[in-house]
Structure 1
Amino acid sequence: MVYLMDNRSYLFCVSVFLIFLSGCSTNQQVKIDLMEAPGIYAQRNYDALGEDLSSHDTYPKDIFYVTQRVPSNSEIKDQPRFYQHERGYALRGGTASIGMGDGENTWDDLAEVFLSSEREKAYPTWIDAVHEYGILEDTISSLRLDPIKHKDALESGPEFIAQVNKTLAQSRVKDIYIFVHGYKAYFDTPVLVGAQLWHYLGYQGAFVAYSWPSTPNSLAYGKDIETANYSGMYLHRFLNVLAKHSEAERIHVIGFSAGGRVVINALKEMALVNGNKGRAQMLEQQRLGEVVLISSDYDSDNFLNGIEYGMLKLMRGLTVYSSQSDDALGFSHFILGRERLGQFGAEGGKDILQEDIDQVPFGDHLYLVNATRAENAGSGNGHSYFRNSPWVSSDLLTLLRYQLAPGNRGLVRRNDGSAIWTFPDNYIEALNTQLSDTISLDEK
């Protein structure tokens, strides 16, 4: 009887945990409210990152996506509008058109809304339509998919890369940005979040929303963890496609929450496959710039295993954000019994990773940022602070746009000798000072 009661208690805790973790709405008409305006755009600073946000005369902008999900069938009742939650065995690429507000806003209206720190109401965003180009041939699983059955989609697949290269050719910034979403998400989720980030980057470069087949259900956490681990292979193949066929100068990857599993597993595979190559050769071959892990629901020890495999030689820099206000990861830690990567930096306690950092090869390319003290980082359950905190979003956007080290973005070390960077009380002022010099140099 005691054994049964223990298991019931455990299942109860698991259920509470699953419901508590963040995720998007289960409503198939997926809408995500506009994120908090980054602090660098305060006082209507239209060109805080060197790109004038008031110069765009139309909205929405089409954003690229790739997905491993199975396409929806409009003839079957109750399916999602665009893609299902089931695993496919190749990546499909396309573009999505984004709607916002009441659907009738002018650009002048939206420009003010995007920059305002005190909005009178929420402004939802949604996908109006998608246009799929086709299957990316180099991502096909040879064991699970018969390419002959997808001849038309295969012939259209190269158009995706052609359109990405066209976008890069028209941009002053020749970089590709990839956003990988977390647990419990529809296809739409990374597209809408990515579109908002791309706006604040001034529509420079090419932005790709990477939608792996998670399930928008609170009880799907275990299923999503396994699918995230499995999906790393497809992200690995996609990065190889971009390195081989795109004209990008650098490719940046942002992994949020369980999406960090997808990113880390892809990097592990790449490191193992290319284990005999040096850092300079890998940077030239893969062109990976900044890899960013936010609120990462990943075993810290397993992350260090990836470092031992040689992950850091693949990229220019790896930045890991954490927050002690992230209650979702607190529950994950409680249930799984292991420290999560997004939890380091406890005040007065043991710092996960910090005591190991001096042993890390290429340690100067790994940056740990504790966002606990950043403005509004603890709102909600504290998990989506990269969207809710105007300080964290400012730091993230600056990192992606200029690839500056933490000290050159206004951050400070927590104490002498610490491997962890934090947000000072005058963070926005410090960042603006740094950006003023950086933008001046960038324009020369």
Structure 2
Amino acid sequence: MNNYSKNSPKTRLINFALLVFMLPFLVLSPSCSNSQYRTGKHPIAGKASVSHAKQGKPLGILYVTNRAPSASVDGKLSYSSFRSHSMSYGSVTLARKGSSLDVLHITKRGEFPQSPYSIELTGQGPRRVPAIVDAHLRAASALQGEVNDRLAKAKRKEVVVFIHGYNNSFDDAAKATGKICNTLSVEFVCVSLSWPAGGAGGAFYGYNIDRESGEFAVLDLKKAIRTLSAANRVKRLHLIAHSRGADVLLSALYQLGMEGYITRTSLGERYKINNVVLFAPDVDLDVATTKLFGFVSDPDVPFGTRASPYGLLPPVGSLHLTVYSSPNDKALALSSALFGSVVRLGRLTSTSIGSKAASSNALWSNSQISGVADFIEYVGNAGFSGHSYFLSDPAVQKDLDALLRGRLKAGDPGRLLVETKRPFWKFVGRTHQAIRD
């Protein structure tokens, strides 16, 4: 018997030792914790984007967070890696400093009541305390007002929400959101949805702490998405997540999807969600499949007032999922070793699913049938860990711009992609693009 078989105890021990040795380097590298976000122009369809940061103008974004507040060294408001039981919201002002974006000001606009909401007993039974409900409604209305005010001045009546990954501080998340906003020519209202990652547990234990903090954040993330989508000026909502943030987002979307199914609608119809974009998602393939297609595998769930197991599923409308993955992602390779995952979604390629598995894997087959998803393989050099290419590689930034701002589909001219096996695509050079066009 081969002593180095994939699941042998010896192999697991070696993988664990490598993880403990390598994880500090991955944490200190620009993988999940990104210290610099370079700004620039990303042309689409022959037109150059205009960067506010390049023009020297401050860039304003909104934030929603369930991090506990803290004071920075100069006494200004900041947010820590500790969890808060109330969800706060406000604005962040970003400015260019050299080749990076810096946080200038954080302004809190309001907060939701502490969770869990208090209940009281009445003659008819328990209910939520009316004063708490009033506070919730005021907070939701005020947050929607902030969004509507910005949409009134924005070129597009669309909101882009970014959910960060492991080991990111509040400022990291805000700067990454600003980078994405610049990539999209600041035509959208951008929101940083920041959960309490980046604790002081060290490289190894810190990952587990962040993992549980991500689970803690799911309900608030769901509440935030629902609230943002209900702003009356929002026409489309685009959700972008990186690394562990993808798992947090998928958990929230699973619950929102069940809400939609029970009310005979879909995520696109009920919550105006147009695009879900996952960069280097740090989630097991089987877990991702369960969360994406959970309601499909549960025909006993009520569809309206009763179950409809043989009925048509709600139309997805314009909702589309785009997953960017890389077989060279070392951070996800170590994550896979830690959790014993066969395939992390962020390392998925057309060749990583064998012909036998392809016919039975729901993520593959359902995506083929519905046309709701594209999987884009990135093979490039994105630093030591190969995990932050969505911020560092102009080709990936341009493709995101083409997807959201240009509304181009995979395979359309203007997106440098070539189909490998539907729904899988790869980035190609300009020479290949010219030949294909």
TM-score (norm 1): 0.76
Report if the CA contact (8 A) 1:38-1:389 is conserved.
Answer: no
Instruction: Name whichever structure is richer in strand by fraction.
Output: 2
Following superposition, the deviation at residue 13 of structure 1 comes to 3.6
- Which whole-Å CA distance do the structure 2 matches of 1:58 and 1:78 have between them? 24
Q: State yes or no: 1:240 paired with 2:226.
A: yes
3, 7, 15: which one aligns with 2:20 = 15
* Distance in 2, Cα, partners of 1:424 & 1:32: 29
Counterpart for residue 276 of structure 1: 262
2:102 is aligned to 126
Say yes or no: does 1:380 pair with 2:366: no
Contact 1:31 1:124 in 2 (8 A): no
Task: Select which of 141, 150, 154 maps to 1:171.
Answer: 154
Give the Å deviation of 1:414.
4.0
Question: Which residue identity does 1:240 align to in structure 2?
Answer: R
Q: Which residue of 2 aligns with 1:142?
A: 117
- 1:86-101 alignment runs, 5 A limit: 86-101=82-97
Q: Give 2:48's aligned residue.
A: 48
Secondary structure class of the residue paired with 2:282 = coil
Tell me which amino acid in the other structure corresponds to 1:100: R
Q: CA deviation at 1:343?
A: 0.8
1:129-155 alpha-carbon deviations (Å, 9 max, x no partner): 110101145x95316999979999996
Instruction: Quote the Cα distance in structure 2 between the aligned partners of 1:292 and 1:186.
Output: 21
Give secondary structure in 2 for the equivalent of 1:97. strand
Distance 1:85 1:267 in 2: 24
Aligned to 2:62: 64
Secondary structure at the residue paired with 2:277? strand
One-letter amino acid of the counterpart of residue 402, structure 2: T
Partner of 2:277: 292
Instruction: Select 1:161's aligned residue among 122, 135, 144.
Output: 144
Residue 305 of structure 1 pairs with residue 312 of structure 2: no
Question: What stretches of structure 1 of length at least 5 have no aligned partner?
Answer: 103-122, 435-444
Any conservation in 1 of the 2:87–2:111 contact (CA below 8 Å)? yes
CA 1:430–1:66: 2 relative to 1, 3 Å: farther
User: Contact (CA 8 Å) 1:232, 1:264: kept in 2 or not?
Assistant: no
SS at match of 2:187: coil
Q: Do the aligned partners of residues 141 and 397 (structure 1) sit closer, same or farther apart at CA in structure 2, a change above 3 Å counting?
A: farther
Indicate whether 1:367 and 2:374 are aligned.
yes
Q: Distance in 1 between matches of 2:133 and 2:195?
A: 20
Distance in 1 between the 2:227 and 2:107 partners? 20
CA shift, 1:197, in A, is 1.4
Residue 253 of structure 2 is matched in structure 1 by 267
Deviates more, 1:210-219 or 1:420-429: 420-429
Query: Is the contact between residue 332 and residue 346 of structure 2 (CA under 8 Å) also seen in structure 1?
Result: yes
What is the CA distance between 1:7 and its match in structure 2? Answer: 9.7
User: Quick one: distance in 1 between partners of 2:13 and 2:428?
Assistant: 45
Rounded to whole Å, the distance in 2 between the matches of 1:300 and 1:228 is 18
- Compared CA separation, residues 402 and 90, structure 1 to 2 (3 A): farther
* CA 7–170 in structure 1, closer or farther in 2 if over 3 Å, else same: closer
Partner of 1:345: 349
Q: 1:202 to 1:69 in 2, by over 3 A?
A: same
CA, structure 1 residues 251+354, in 2 after alignment: closer, same or farther (shift >3 Å)?
farther
The aligned counterpart of 2:163 is 180
Could you give the per-residue CA deviations for residues 370-424 of structure 1, whole angstroms, max 9, x where no partner exists?
111xxx4443311001112111111012112133211114344443x43211112
Contact 2:39 2:53 in 1 (8 A): no
When residues 147 and 66 of structure 1 are mapped into structure 2, their CA distance, relative to the original with a 3 A threshold, is farther
Matched residue type, 1:250 = R
* C-alpha RMSD of the superposition: 3.9
Residue 212 of structure 2 corresponds to which residue in structure 1? 226
Q: Contact 1:300–1:340 at 8 Å: present in 2 too?
A: yes
How many residues of Structure 1 are paired with residues of Structure 2 in the alignment?
393
- Partner secondary structure for residue 190 of structure 2: strand
Residues 310 and 5 of structure 1: is their aligned pair in 2 closer, same or farther, counting only changes over 3 Å?
A: closer
Find the aligned partners of 1:246 and 1:430 in 2 and give their Cα distance: 43
Aligned 8 A contact 1:135 1:154 in 2: no
> Is residue 82 from structure 1 mapped to residue 65 from structure 2 by the alignment?
no
Q: Which moved more, 1:217-226 or 1:270-279?
A: 270-279
Is there any run of 5+ residues in structure 2 with no aligned partner, and where? 1-8, 120-127, 297-314
TM-score (norm: length of structure 2): 0.77
- 8 Å Cα contact 2:77-2:106 kept in structure 1: no
